[in-house]
Amino acid sequence: MLHNNKIVVVMPAYNAAKTLEMTFAEVPMDVVDEVILVDDASRDETAAKAHELGIRTIIHAENLGYGGNQKTCYREALGHGADVVVMLHPDYQYSPRLVTAMASMIVSGHYDIVLASRILGGGAIKGGMPLYKYIANRFLTLIENVVLGVKLSEYHTGYRAFSRTVLETLPLEENSDDFVFDNQMLAQAVWFGFRIGEISCPTKYFDDASSINFRRSVRYGFGVLQTTARYLLQKTGLAKSIIFDPAGRKIISDRSS
């Protein structure tokens, strides 16, 4: 709890059994009220490990994809009364110790969304980010900054914090169930006028950390360009996109606590 705001950490998980415990061990439970893990039909013991650690666990009977997993994460968090939701991957690639700082930036009232940037501070390459991913990150970020009219250091981090209002307002159900969900969400946030802040975050790439392969990375890159084009067409009035429609389908839940 921070200034009477309920803080919930959500973990979209897939085959994270080897890294979940060390990730969870660094979550600042003096601030975090609840941790919710959504297991996307993992083929390892992720769900069993989560139960062993006492984490509230939701299990998908079939794999719904990274975006589909996040939709469940946010629906569950809102349903459990979250005022601030922090998405933390359970693969130990990002530092859980930054949850307090990220949530505080939301609670302060200055920001609606906070991104933990691997680019700020210049540690991405040192942390093991493959060179091709770094170059693609910089290229795509440049294009998005120009088109969206904002100035972020990167759009592609998987470590993010959101206010409840953001999650209730954005038509997230209209987004992809694949990895491009992340990028669509930020484009939506800019379109709807939400304030986005950033914090520097060290990153670690290692064998057990989840990372999409080259083929999926290329697919994601084209998805980012498509999302940027949809934003431009929406902005110029040349075409309308459902992901920017205020009447689009939203994450529905009732505050239960």
Q: pLDDT (tens digit, 0 to 9) for every residue of the chain, 257 residues total?
A: 888 999 999 999 999 999 999 999 999 999 999 999 999 999 999 999 999 999 999 999 999 999 999 999 999 999 999 999 999 999 999 999 999 999 999 999 999 999 999 998 777 777 788 888 889 999 999 999 999 999 999 999 999 999 999 999 999 999 999 999 999 999 999 999 999 999 999 887 766 655 667 788 899 999 999 999 999 999 999 999 999 999 999 997 544 44
Classify residue 15 by its DSSP letter: S
Q: What gap in Å lies between CA 123 and CA 1, rounded to an integer?
A: 31
Buried b (16+ CB within 10 A) or exposed e, 55-88: bebbbbeeebbbbbbbbbbbbbbbbbbbbbbbbb
Closest by CA to 167, choosing from 60, 82, 247, is: 82
Count of other CB atoms within 10 angstroms of residue 5 = 17
| pLDDT in the model for residue 61 | 96
Q: What are the residue ranges spanned by the domains of the chain?
A: 7-244
Residue tagged 């660094």 (tokens): 26
Q: What gap in Å lies between CA 253 and CA 76, rounded to an integer?
A: 8
Q: Which fold has domain 7-244?
A: Spore Coat Polysaccharide Biosynthesis Protein SpsA; Chain A (3.90.550)
Spatial contact of 27 and 46, defined as CB atoms under 8 Å apart: no
| pLDDT in the model for residue 132 | 87
Q: Which helix (H) or strand (E) holds 182?
A: helix 181-191
Q: What gap in Å lies between CA 106 and CA 64, rounded to an integer?
A: 29
Count of other CB atoms within 10 angstroms of residue 124 = 25
Closest by CA to 139, choosing from 123, 155, 117, is: 155
Q: Map residue 123 onto helix, strand or coil.
A: coil
Phi first, then psi, for residue 26 (nearest 5°) are -100, 5
Kindly give the pairing relationship between strand 34-39 and strand 7-13.
parallel
| pLDDT in the model for residue 128 | 80
| pLDDT in the model for residue 54 | 97
| pLDDT in the model for residue 254 | 47
Q: At what angle do helices 131-148 and 181-191 cross, to 10 degrees?
A: 20
| pLDDT in the model for residue 215 | 83
